[in-house]
A and B are shown apart, each in its own frame.
Chain A
Amino acid sequence: MFEGLSSRFEGILRKVRGKGRLGPEDVEEFVAEVRVALLEADVHLDVVQTLLDRIRGRAVGVEVAGALNPGQIVVKIVLEELTAVLGGETFRPAYASKPPTVVLLAGLQGSGKTTTAAKLARWYKGQGRNPMLIGADLERPAAVAQLRTLGERISVPVFSDSTDPVAVARAGLAEAVRLGRDVVICDTAGRLAIDEDLMAEVAEISATLQPHHTFLVVDAMTGQDAVTMAAAFHSRLGLDALIITKLDGDARGGAALSITEVVGRPIAFASTGETVEDFELFHPDRLAGRILGMGDVETLIEKAEETFAAEEAEAAAARMLAGTFTLDDFLEQLRALRKMGSISSIMGMVPGMASQVGDLDEAVDERRIDRIEGIINSMTPAERLDPDVIDGSRRARIAAGSGTQVGEINQLVKQFREMRKMMKQMGGRGPGRRKAGRAKKKGRGGRVTAAGPAPIDKKKGLSLPGLGMSPGDQGPSSGGLDLTGNWPPGPTGGR
């Protein structure tokens, strides 16, 4: 998400890097590039003007001061302005003192409300709550059936009947009280902001439910109309926050940024994939950093924590960045990554990966992971520890054991080495992280686990992007784990 914006900013950074100071012409050149990037990212025209004015106002007349050169200062300004627009703080859903906490979802057709309702319910479950879903979309054929199926999948009760949306909402709320559910999430039909009748209807649902949170569900791919649409919903419903969907695509999501600027409401959650797990609290500060191509180590760590123990997560992340892991670790990583959600969404959080492996989404094929797992499972502990010992006869044995080809084993070992190298480079790249990139002795002694967790300095790791980069330090340009579908032909299909 937002990768395009990131690479655009990286391009600008390269242009201005090395200059001792920025003249007004330099600033204008930078501003012109920012304008193109923001418009390409579907940031609303008026918001673009506002942003450019702010950036220009702060950038002109900047002198070399302290450790930052003017180019870096401009990047910092853009980062700060984007962060400011995105809300500057993380939205924290509050709970009603007298349950249930009522949540209303609204939005255009196809923005993803029904799927979001289920994801949100699952998220509340994860918070230790007992949510219930109300299916008040009686317009779209089978919308309630879809919600019921999703509800079953996440073991959350779904209430609906075929009366009318307002009555369903009212009865649903009563049912939630009766069942003692402490969170109620109401899905509604998609509607156009200019459809008076349907807007009046959703306003009536809102009046009936008296929701504690009203979320507008917004497709990340939305263009310039987003602001008009959101303003209309806001004036009728009084929005509390946005939920942005389909961030797993390559849409840059400028629409969401525009809505927050114009409507003045933060983005609460982001939906980053098709499975119910691909949903998380939105972190504006992190996203602003991500827009500038610096990755998102904190989200990576947080997701990992959800899946395994905290110390394990830190050790895993540290090993990953230190490049001191074995095929055993590698397999564990793969399994853990799988648990966390789609691999591509994880990889996008690693600093530098967003732009350098920009098309990773395209490259990832989950089926390949099955084969890799098979291969590693067919290795002896010694082989997993040090793939160098794998000779011809071992290869043949592993291939036979995993039902793969000898070539695939060579490929895996080669890619594992490259990935370890790449991770190590990345680990050693940021300021304050040099120490984490410790040299690994080619070890035969004992399984290599975290040689003591090398904690990531989150603050430093997330400081300004590109500041620690020397001209030659562009990070790995290639290599890494190739998870493309080019791996041996298998049956297609399956998500």
Chain B
Amino acid sequence: MGLRSRLGRARDAWSTHLAAVRVAGVVDDRTWEGLTNALLLADIGLPTTEALIDGVRHRVGAEGVDDIEGVLGLLKEEILDRLGGADRSLAVGGQPSVWLFVGVNGVGKTTTIGKLGWREASAGRSVVFAAGDTFRAAAADQLQVWADRAGATMVRGAEGADPSSVVFDAVEHAAARGADLVLADTAGRVHTRGNLMDELAKVRRVAGKGAGTVTETLLVIDSTTGQNGLIQAREFAAAADVTGIVLTKLDGSARGGIVVAVQEDLGIPVKLIGVGEGTDDLVEFDPADFVDALFSVDVPA
């Protein structure tokens, strides 16, 4: 199923601004205002929005574009330009490879691991889950349910145990069994908590200390997140050397526009998106799809 059809619902405010732009027919100040508003409502953020609009206005003048569809085409290009050129594959290369999942509370780290573990196991890889969230009550139980679904092995510690040692044990366990992949969960943490970010940095270090190699550190961001998403990305990247973004809950009405700024400012690409509750609702991020979906608006009759 294409992203477009999945994102086809609930685009009200966005639709209104875009539709107004389209209905107007001519390119004038209202066009730019409408497009600016539409981008802001997508959580793209003021600095990126202004840069995008400035870029398009410049090109409209230079290239002599005078119709709305042409302007929208240029805007898509400008956004794609900022999202393009990144390697979005998930790297392997360790024995085992370790993929570490980090993020603030409630973004969907555990669920993402469940879905991804299911996907990787279905592809024939042997997968170990590391229940590194030892803080949230019953987090390991939640991961266990996913491990059972995915056929993954689970390594867990006691509640309140040192997450680094749980992850380390999981990696050693995977190495001893010749498993391919360790998916390591971590407790959600607000990035302003210095001691918790230190703890995370330690988990990241320790995960690669033994037999395994950390080949991906994936920051999970909820697509409803606003401008704080950029700060989150910056802080988690500083603490744990983030290699990619998983943008979750994109099946709702939020558009997740903050990832444009994240990639542009920090060079961290989105690698996966979550588009539903099912086990197979975690898919590769396709920038063209993403941008098309952003602009897929039916003009009201």
A binds B: yes
Residues of chain A whose beta carbon lies under 8 Å from any beta carbon of chain B: 36, 39-42, 45, 108-112, 139-143, 145-146, 148-150, 153, 192-194, 219, 221-226, 228-229, 246, 248-252, 254-255, 274, 359, 361-367, 484-485, 492-493, 495
Other 6 A-B pairs with CB < 8 A, given A39-B46, A228-B253, A493-B199: A39-B45, A111-B106, A223-B229, A255-B226, A361-B192, A492-B199
| Contact for B105 among A112, A143, A224, A485, CB less than 8 A | A112
The 3 A-B residue pairs with the shortest CB-CB distance in the complex, in nearest-first order: A223-B226, A110-B106, A141-B145
Q: Which residues 103-156 of B have a CB within 8 angstroms of A? A: 104-108, 111, 114, 135-139, 141-142, 144-146
* Residues in A whose Cβ lies below 8 Å from that of B227: 39-42, 223, 252
**Once the chains bind, are B145 and A225 in contact (CB under 8 Å)?**
no
* Residues in A whose Cβ lies below 8 Å from that of B194: 361-365, 484-485
* Residues in A whose Cβ lies below 8 Å from that of B231: 250
| Contact for B254 among A142, A223, A249, CB less than 8 A | A223
Number of interface residues of B (CB under 8 A): 60
Query: For residue A108, which residue of chain B has the nearest CB?
Result: B224
C-alpha gap A139/B228 in the complex (Å): 28
**Once the chains bind, are B226 and A229 in contact (CB under 8 Å)?**
no
Distance in Å: Cβ of B220 to nearest Cβ of chain A: 10
**Once the chains bind, are A146 and B191 in contact (CB under 8 Å)?**
no
Distance in Å: Cβ of A359 to nearest Cβ of chain B: 8
Provide a sorted-by-A list of 26 A–B residue pairs whose CB atoms are within 8 angstroms: A45-B13, A45-B40, A109-B108, A110-B108, A139-B277, A140-B142, A142-B141, A142-B144, A145-B141, A146-B142, A194-B10, A223-B227, A224-B254, A225-B43, A225-B255, A228-B253, A229-B254, A248-B192, A249-B191, A250-B192, A359-B192, A361-B193, A362-B194, A363-B194, A493-B164, A495-B135
Q: Is there a chain A Cβ closer than 8 Å to B258's Cβ? A: yes
**Once the chains bind, are B40 and A224 in contact (CB under 8 Å)?**
yes
Residues of chain B whose beta carbon lies under 8 Å from any beta carbon of chain A: 9-10, 12-13, 37, 40-43, 45-46, 104-108, 111, 114, 135-139, 141-142, 144-146, 159, 162-164, 190-199, 202, 222, 224-229, 231-232, 249, 251-255, 258, 277
* Residues in A whose Cβ lies below 8 Å from that of B222: 110, 219, 221
Query: For residue B109, which residue of chain A has the nearest CB?
Result: A110
**Once the chains bind, are B10 and A228 in contact (CB under 8 Å)?**
yes
**Once the chains bind, are A224 and B195 in contact (CB under 8 Å)?**
no
**Once the chains bind, are B226 and A193 in contact (CB under 8 Å)?**
no
Most chain B CB neighbours (cut-off 10 Å) among A248, A249, A359: A249
| Contact for B190 among A192, A249, A367, CB less than 8 A | A249
C-alpha gap A115/B96 in the complex (Å): 35
| Contact for A193 among B46, B104, B139, B253, CB less than 8 A | B253
| Contact for B251 among A36, A146, A192, A229, CB less than 8 A | A192
* Residues in A whose Cβ lies below 8 Å from that of B252: 108, 192-194, 225, 229
C-alpha gap A254/B227 in the complex (Å): 10
**Once the chains bind, are B254 and A225 in contact (CB under 8 Å)?**
yes
Known A142-B141, A493-B164; contact A109-B249, beta-carbon cutoff 8 A: yes
* Residues in A whose Cβ lies below 8 Å from that of B137: 145-146, 149-150, 153
Query: For residue B135, which residue of chain A has the nearest CB?
Result: A495
* Residues in B whose Cβ lies below 8 Å from that of A495: 135, 195-196
Most chain A CB neighbours (cut-off 10 Å) among B224, B225, B254: B224
* Residues in A whose Cβ lies below 8 Å from that of B190: 246, 248-249, 361
**Once the chains bind, are B224 and A219 in contact (CB under 8 Å)?**
yes
* Residues in A whose Cβ lies below 8 Å from that of B198: 485, 492
* Residues in A whose Cβ lies below 8 Å from that of B108: 109-110
C-alpha gap A143/B252 in the complex (Å): 21
Query: For residue A221, which residue of chain B has the nearest CB?
Result: B228
Distance in Å: Cβ of A481 to nearest Cβ of chain B: 15
Most chain A CB neighbours (cut-off 10 Å) among B142, B146, B202, B228: B228
C-alpha gap A248/B252 in the complex (Å): 25
Distance in Å: Cβ of B51 to nearest Cβ of chain A: 14
Query: For residue A217, which residue of chain B has the nearest CB?
Result: B106
| Contact for A194 among B45, B142, B253, B255, CB less than 8 A | B253
Query: For residue B221, which residue of chain A has the nearest CB?
Result: A221
Query: For residue A40, which residue of chain B has the nearest CB?
Result: B227
Query: For residue B38, which residue of chain A has the nearest CB?
Result: A45
* Residues in B whose Cβ lies below 8 Å from that of A153: 137
**Once the chains bind, are B192 and A225 in contact (CB under 8 Å)?**
no
* Residues in B whose Cβ lies below 8 Å from that of A223: 43, 224-227, 229, 254, 258
C-alpha gap A255/B226 in the complex (Å): 9
Distance in Å: Cβ of A344 to nearest Cβ of chain B: 8
C-alpha gap A45/B229 in the complex (Å): 18
Query: For residue B190, which residue of chain A has the nearest CB?
Result: A249
C-alpha gap A45/B180 in the complex (Å): 47
* Residues in A whose Cβ lies below 8 Å from that of B104: 221, 246, 249
Query: For residue A107, which residue of chain B has the nearest CB?
Result: B106
C-alpha gap A353/B37 in the complex (Å): 35
* Residues in B whose Cβ lies below 8 Å from that of A362: 192-194, 197
* Residues in A whose Cβ lies below 8 Å from that of B106: 109-112, 219, 246
* Residues in B whose Cβ lies below 8 Å from that of A145: 137-138, 141-142
Distance in Å: Cβ of B136 to nearest Cβ of chain A: 7
* Residues in A whose Cβ lies below 8 Å from that of B141: 141-142, 145-146
**Once the chains bind, are A254 and B199 in contact (CB under 8 Å)?**
no
* Residues in A whose Cβ lies below 8 Å from that of B12: 228
Known A145-B141, A224-B41; contact A251-B105, beta-carbon cutoff 8 A: no
Query: For residue A193, which residue of chain B has the nearest CB?
Result: B253
Query: For residue B258, which residue of chain A has the nearest CB?
Result: A223
Distance in Å: Cβ of A307 to nearest Cβ of chain B: 22
